Copies of this chain bind each other. A is one copy, B any other.
Amino acid sequence: MPQIGIGIVGGGYMGKAHAVAFSAVGALFDTNFRPHLEMICASTATSAETYRAAYGFARATDDWRKLVRDAAIEAIVVASPQETHREIAEAAFAAGKPVFCEKPLGATLDDSRAMVAAADQAGVANMVGFNYVRTPATQYARELIRGGALGQITWFRGEHTEDFLADPAEPATWRTKGVSNGTMGDLAPHMINAALALIGPIKSLCAEVETVHKSRPGDQGAVDVTNDDHGQVMCRFESGAMGHLYFSRIATGRKMGYAYEIHGTKGALRFDQEDQNALWLYDASSPAERRGFTKILTGPEHPDYAAFCQGPGHGTGYQDQITIEARDFLKAIETGKPVWPTFRDGMEVNQVIAAAFESSKKQGWLNVSAV
């Protein structure tokens, strides 16, 4: 089996997750490449070396350009902060190398558009790190909807809610500055991607975005918060369905509130990432006295579950989503065919976010295509 040299930019939260994924993916899935952890890059030489040793890479660097150029690097994962995504991806494409980029694709819509153009020109595999849509439950939800199990969709409600900044006494950090690190920039992309994947394109929207706690304690007194704490979006899908999205980093009590509820003329679905191994399905065609939401536990019958366990209900977790991404990225490289979600999908998410900001500013409805 041919090896493939993997280079990862960023060794933090997600850099590690991808390193683990590429370590495990070959044993878990029937891949045609066996990934080799070739090089890891971080901001400093010291941290890069630490990551190298910890994750088992062959080499380390503090210069992502070196990584991108290196002949042994055949596929690149961008797991550094959003502001860095564009430059790295463009350089990688210029070197003709496939890129997997963490979400959000670009720090701005302009960045994302440039990245899509670069990907198109390079004609190589490109993917975005929307891992949550890869749980067996959400993949199955998508199949159910496409298969017509819910009939005509009339309502979609999605949220991505966490509470890491719910306490106003929580200090200011990099997370509290820079639009792309705010709730809309950083948390919203996952659920917007899910909305688009499950229901289709959003035509128009009306949003309200807000910084609730306008300053937070810093080392030398109060520091201004320059990005948003939460935001909501009423929307209309092109299919005609009505929808609502809510995003928050101050949703006290919510840890991984990536959740959706979908109603259609024939059925309904409910999902909450905090119990990611269950999908709740309502089938309106059941006899009235037996109707209700069925708690389906994911199992080998559902997409991408069997590789992790032969027993239903045994459960997959966060890291497994990242491993599924690795499998897909390898497949995209192998086949030369785009594997969803591509950079274009990532850009469409940024477009919805840009429209939401614009709508919130002008306080009214807006066509997504207008931004």
Contacts and interface: CB of A to CB of B under 8 A. Distances in A.
A250 interface: yes
Nearest to A256: B313
A27 B319 CA distance: 12
A255 interface: yes
User: How big is chain A's contact interface, by range?
Assistant: 35 or more
A155 B13 CA distance: 29
A361 to B, nearest CB: 13
Nearest to A19: B27
A166 B297 CA distance: 17
A299 interface: yes
A264 B252 CA distance: 6
Given A208-B242, A273-B313, A365-B364, A297 B255 contact: yes
A315 B256 contact: yes
Q: Which 3 A-B pairs have the closest CB atoms?
A: A255-B313, A317-B317, A253-B282
A248 B230 contact: no
A23 to B, nearest CB: 5
Contacts of A53: 1
A24 interface: yes
Interface of A: 1, 13, 16-17, 19-20, 23-24, 26-28, 30, 34, 37, 53-56, 140, 150, 154-155, 157, 162-163, 166-168, 206, 208, 210, 212, 229-230, 232, 234, 236, 242, 244, 246, 248, 250-257, 263-268, 270, 273-278, 281-284, 286, 288-297, 299, 301-302, 308-320, 363-365
A291 B301 CA distance: 10
A319 B318 contact: no
A265 B20 CA distance: 36
A191 to B, nearest CB: 15
B244 A253 contact: no
Contact of A318 (B266, B291, B308): B308
Contacts of A319: 28, 308-309, 316-317, 319-320
Given A54-B27, A250-B154, A289-B140, A315 B276 contact: yes
A284 B20 contact: no
A273 B312 CA distance: 11
B27 A311 contact: no
A210 B154 CA distance: 10
A65 to B, nearest CB: 25
A278 B275 contact: yes
A212 B1 CA distance: 48
